[in-house]
Structure 1
Amino acid sequence: MNTIQILWIDDEIDLLKPHILFLEQRHYKVTTCTSGSEALDILEEVNFDIVFLDENMPGLSGLETLNEIKEKRDTLPVVMITKSEEEYIMEEAIGNKIADYLIKPVNPNQILLSLKKNLDHSRLISEKTTSNYQQEFRKIAMDLSMVNTFEEWATLYQKLIYWEIQLEDIEDIGMFEILESQKIEANAQFGKFIDKNYESWFEANAEAPVMSHTLFKDKIAPELSKEQPTLLVIIDNLRFDQWKVFEPIINNYYKKESETPFYSILPTATQYARNAIFSGLMPSDMEKLFPQYWKNDTDEGGKNLYEAEFLESQLKRLGLRHLTYEYHKITNLKTGKKLVENFNTLKNNDLTVVVYNFVDMLSHSKTEMEVVKELASNDKAYRSLALSWFKNSPLLEMIHQAQLLGFKLIITTDHGTINVKNPSKVVGDRDTSLNLRYKTGRSLTYETKDVLVAKDPKKIHLPSINMSSSYIFAKGDLFFAYPNNYNHYVSYYRNSYQHGGVSLEEMIIPFVVFNPK
């Protein structure tokens, strides 16, 4: 292991001899000097790991030296040490990205702690994270064998996501593989749970989670008022893990009031789940009550063209027709920027709904574009790519403007998505739907163990394309493939992001309410 090299700059360096001996006994190599100009010369010759810098020195001051160091070596950690507690000095130093700020007199343990924090930070966090997950692993395994309610599944899934994000930056590949195996096992058990319980959620007075068609009535409507405008953002195809990496960015502007996971209906596909959010109805009821708006899988034309009309009818039904509202769908950068430019005009609405379509486009382009396949090769990379988009998107600008105008903010989605790994053979006629995670049609032939089957779609409130239509939903990370041209089809779609089926990633999704800071 290489010796850590420290440069300590202080015009009274002789008084710090005990501190330096303390560090040298712990195998740190300490180089000393008494002025900023001398330090800058030494930095030209030696590649130090960290600098301790006295703020109050004759000649070049500590802050001036700091500026010079950062110009030469902007990634070199600098710890400022000062007698002064004046706020402007702290602000200047922090603004110049110091690694730490210590007030004299410092004791050796403070110095050691600062070194650990700045140089051993990643290793210590990695070791602690691995140790904590090892302890948690057994508990998760036990929970997996006992979990039996929709609330427990939501909690367990959030726990798995927490550890996935915690473990993603550490070097221990073995730990990550253990977590991946737990996720696969969790999805296998979750598939059995949904198979057993999903139909019963639609029975009268059933114990059921908040779902797509009840979300507006149960969760959104109670938040709406004429006293405070609300911005409702529905990010198409947003997974819970992606939401968790977006959250710290939003926390700069908003304070979280509540976070409630809810369940997407099946199929976990936009035309079903998002229409259900806006209409407050299940698909079979939409087909019956709004035949002019509803389209089945095999019908020509866009399947989500009437969300504003569905929203209007639901607001009337819920007795909220007195609220003023606008609906906007953003499908490209140009329309996003235009809405940002005109955002000030929305402040008089009680409710502004924005459907943002980027994450869905990202998942589909991963299938079709080699460059996106490279950039989003796994869940960690897919999260990172989505986060990079969000940080630089018109959506974040809208959220900032909403905060400045005092809007309440609600963020949610219609369904998630899963990285599909394994094919499952299916045979259907030419009227069978094309989605890779669910199929509807007549005379479907399939691997029974791989699917949740709805032989009578009416029982789960889905429309039938014809009298003998059924639905099948892929479980876990499976995707449907036809026997003809099988190998080409499988290699093309394997490791792509798909939705429509039964998995934790697709079904358990975020609903979050914020108030402006």
Structure 2
Amino acid sequence: MQEPTILWADDEIDLLKPHILFLKDKGYNIKTVTNGSDALDAFKAEHFDIIFLDENMPGLTGLETLVEIKNIKPDIPVVLITKSEEEYLMEDAIGSKIDDYLIKPVNPKQILLTIKKILDKKGLVHGKTASAYQQEFRNLLMTLNDNLSYEEWADVYKKLIFWEIELQGLEDPGMHEILTQQKAEANAQFSKFVEKNYIKWLNNPDIAPVQSHQLMKQKVFPLIDSTPTFFLLIDNLRYDQWKIISPIISEYFRIETEESYYSILPTATQYARNAIFAGLLPTEMEKRFPGKWQNDEDEGGKNLHEEAFLEDQLKRLRKNYKFSYTKVVNYDQGKDLVDNIHTMANNQLNVIVYNFVDMLSHARTEMEIIRELASDEKAYRSLTLSWFENSPLLEALKKIAQKKVRLIITTDHGTIRVKTPSKVIGDRNTNTNLRYKQGKNLAFEPKEVLHIKNPQDAFLPRQHMSQSFIFAKEDEYFIYPNNYNQFVNYYNNTFQHGGISLEEMIIPFVVLSTK
């Protein structure tokens, strides 16, 4: 391994010879200069792993040299050394993105500690992270063999996501493979758990987690008081995507609670999101709203009446809230939302449905450039973060943070990256979703699906006597035998929703307050 190379610029460099000899004995290669101009010349001519700059040099000062260096290579670690403890100098240095700040006189061990902190930090952190996960791996392995409750499954999923994000910076394919396998095993066990309990939950809420149709009544309405509440539903936001954007949101809001709930099946927008706003299951919506509820076979949009569903639920529960409903599906509507925040703060409840993440998952399937930008889970999260940082939504949240309000952030369902094709045969009226199918006389591999023979058992509409529903489990996706290989190649590794997985069913529900 090549010795780390350090550039040290100080007009009193001769007095620092003991420090330099000490560092050379420790395996570091040191180049010394006595002024800022020479430092820049050396920096342009050679590669350095870290730079030490004395602030008080003749000609270019340390800060001036720092600015020049960062303009050329922003990510080079720089340590500023000075005799002054003036606050303005520290603020200028920090504003110029230094990596550390030392006050003279410095001793050799102090310099060594700074170098290790900067250059060896990545390796030290990665080593500790890998070791901690290896211990957690054994704990999770034993946990997955237990008879887990729905609360414990939510905890398992959150732990897996924690380690997935922690390990994403490690250049260790073996460790990533172990985590991927453990996540797959968790999804296999979770699918069995849902298959065993799902219909029981729908028919006996006392033994069930909070699900889509109970969300507003059980988790949202009890929070609404004299403090205006903004209910933000970011369509298709997985728990890991929430964890990636939450540090930005935490700059403006205080997280009061971070919980979860379970999406109903199918984990698809027309079912799960309509259930949230109606406070009803699909068969109940079909019966109560014959002119508004749309089944899979019906023509037209499936989520056109969410505001009406919400209004009806409020009336049924005798909640006389002054409320607003806003749906954002493009950039211009996002800018309109920003402009309307001031007015909305006068309402008790403001519901905002923001539709970007769902469009991102579909775009990744259909557009080659998005496939390349979101090639795996890490890249998918990164793309979500990049969107959020530059979106009107963040601008709107900053405006909301200026008000004395409560903010709730949640979603309707998640999404899973599918990898395993599962053959299915259906007639021309069978729906197109890759994670669930409903239709007449479906043919499929029984071991690969949750088959609900009588849809009404799961409170799902039944349009034909021979109609049934099947749900893909784990990372499977349904493919017709016709043009099988073509469709496998097209849909493999795309993000889909509608079926049974930890990613699709366990939903973040976060309550925040302004700081």
Fold agreement, TM-score > 0.5? yes
2:489 to 481, 488, 491: 491
Distance in 2 (alpha carbons) for counterparts of 1:480 and 1:76: 49
| 3-state SS of 2:461 partner | coil
Q: Given residue 136 of structure 1, which amino acid in structure 2 is its aligned partner?
A: E
Q: CA deviation at 1:102?
A: 2.1
Specify whether residues 43 and 430 from structure 1 end up closer, same or farther in structure 2 by C-alpha distance, changes over 3 A only. Answer: closer
Contact (CA 8 Å) 1:147, 1:153: kept in 2 or not? no
Q: CA deviation at 1:504?
A: 0.7
5 Å-filtered alignment, 1:50-89, equals 50-89=50-89
Specify whether residues 39 and 425 from structure 1 end up closer, same or farther in structure 2 by C-alpha distance, changes over 3 A only. Answer: closer
Distance in 2 (alpha carbons) for counterparts of 1:240 and 1:457: 29
Q: Given residue 357 of structure 1, which amino acid in structure 2 is its aligned partner?
A: N
| 3-state SS of 1:510 partner | strand
Specify whether residues 301 and 47 from structure 1 end up closer, same or farther in structure 2 by C-alpha distance, changes over 3 A only. Answer: same
Distance in 2 (alpha carbons) for counterparts of 1:367 and 1:67: 43
What is the aligned partner in structure 1 of residue 442 from structure 2? 444
Specify whether residues 414 and 43 from structure 1 end up closer, same or farther in structure 2 by C-alpha distance, changes over 3 A only. Answer: same
5 Å-filtered alignment, 1:38-57, equals 38-57=38-57
Q: CA deviation at 1:501?
A: 0.4
What is the aligned partner in structure 2 of residue 136 from structure 1? 136
| 3-state SS of 2:510 partner | strand
Q: CA deviation at 1:220?
A: 1.2
What is the aligned partner in structure 1 of residue 99 from structure 2? 99
5 Å-filtered alignment, 1:26-425, equals 26-204=26-204, 206-226=206-226, 228-321=227-320, 323-425=321-423
| 3-state SS of 1:382 partner | helix
Q: Which region of structure 1 is more displaced relative to structure 2, 22-31 or 41-50?
A: 41-50
Specify whether residues 325 and 64 from structure 1 end up closer, same or farther in structure 2 by C-alpha distance, changes over 3 A only. Answer: same
| 3-state SS of 1:304 partner | coil
Q: Which region of structure 1 is more displaced relative to structure 2, 133-142 or 172-181?
A: 133-142
Q: CA deviation at 1:255?
A: 1.5
Distance in 2 (alpha carbons) for counterparts of 1:97 and 1:310: 51
Q: Which region of structure 1 is more displaced relative to structure 2, 36-45 or 301-310?
A: 36-45
Distance in 2 (alpha carbons) for counterparts of 1:35 and 1:484: 73
Q: Which region of structure 1 is more displaced relative to structure 2, 445-454 or 53-62?
A: 53-62
Q: CA deviation at 1:10?
A: 2.7
Q: CA deviation at 1:60?
A: 3.5
Distance in 1 (alpha carbons) for counterparts of 2:87 and 2:64: 17
Contact (CA 8 Å) 1:130, 1:172: kept in 2 or not? no
| 3-state SS of 2:471 partner | strand
Q: CA deviation at 1:121?
A: 2.4
Q: CA deviation at 1:20?
A: 2.0
Q: Which region of structure 1 is more displaced relative to structure 2, 25-34 or 249-258?
A: 25-34
| 3-state SS of 1:349 partner | coil
Specify whether residues 318 and 80 from structure 1 end up closer, same or farther in structure 2 by C-alpha distance, changes over 3 A only. Answer: farther
Q: CA deviation at 1:69?
A: 2.9
Distance in 2 (alpha carbons) for counterparts of 1:73 and 1:453: 58
Distance in 2 (alpha carbons) for counterparts of 1:85 and 1:209: 57
Q: Given residue 360 of structure 2, which amino acid in structure 1 is its aligned partner?
A: L
Q: CA deviation at 1:499?
A: 0.8
Instruction: Give per-residue Cα distances to partners, 1:146-178, cap 9 Å, x unaligned.
Output: 141101111111111111111112110011011
Distance in 2 (alpha carbons) for counterparts of 1:340 and 1:225: 24
Contact (CA 8 Å) 1:269, 1:415: kept in 2 or not? yes
Q: Given residue 122 of structure 2, which amino acid in structure 1 is its aligned partner?
A: S
Q: Given residue 424 of structure 2, which amino acid in structure 1 is its aligned partner?
A: V
Instruction: Give per-residue Cα distances to partners, 1:208-243, cap 9 Å, x unaligned.
Output: 1111111111111122222x2222111111111111
Distance in 1 (alpha carbons) for counterparts of 2:72 and 2:105: 29
Distance in 1 (alpha carbons) for counterparts of 2:489 and 2:45: 54
Instruction: Give per-residue Cα distances to partners, 1:233-259, cap 9 Å, x unaligned.
Output: 111111111111111111121111111
Instruction: Give per-residue Cα distances to partners, 1:123-151, cap 9 Å, x unaligned.
Output: 22222222221221111111111141101
Q: CA deviation at 1:205?
A: 5.3
| 3-state SS of 2:169 partner | coil
Distance in 2 (alpha carbons) for counterparts of 1:65 and 1:377: 40
Distance in 2 (alpha carbons) for counterparts of 1:499 and 1:38: 59
Unaligned runs of 5+ in 1: none
Q: Given residue 225 of structure 2, which amino acid in structure 1 is its aligned partner?
A: S
Contact (CA 8 Å) 1:327, 1:354: kept in 2 or not? yes
Distance in 2 (alpha carbons) for counterparts of 1:443 and 1:48: 68
TM (norm. structure 1) is 0.95
Distance in 2 (alpha carbons) for counterparts of 1:313 and 1:500: 26
Distance in 1 (alpha carbons) for counterparts of 2:46 and 2:294: 70
Instruction: Give per-residue Cα distances to partners, 1:253-306, cap 9 Å, x unaligned.
Output: 111111101110000000000001111111111111122221111111111101
Specify whether residues 465 and 75 from structure 1 end up closer, same or farther in structure 2 by C-alpha distance, changes over 3 A only. Answer: same
| 3-state SS of 1:198 partner | helix
2:460 to 456, 459, 462: 462
Distance in 2 (alpha carbons) for counterparts of 1:74 and 1:483: 53
Q: Given residue 84 of structure 1, which amino acid in structure 2 is its aligned partner?
A: S
TM (norm. structure 2) is 0.96
Q: Which region of structure 1 is more displaced relative to structure 2, 337-346 or 323-332?
A: 337-346
Q: Which region of structure 1 is more displaced relative to structure 2, 48-57 or 501-510?
A: 48-57
Distance in 1 (alpha carbons) for counterparts of 2:80 and 2:38: 17
Contact (CA 8 Å) 1:200, 1:206: kept in 2 or not? no
What is the aligned partner in structure 2 of residue 11 from structure 1? 11
What is the aligned partner in structure 1 of residue 24 from structure 2? 24
Q: Given residue 280 of structure 1, which amino acid in structure 2 is its aligned partner?
A: G
| 3-state SS of 1:260 partner | strand
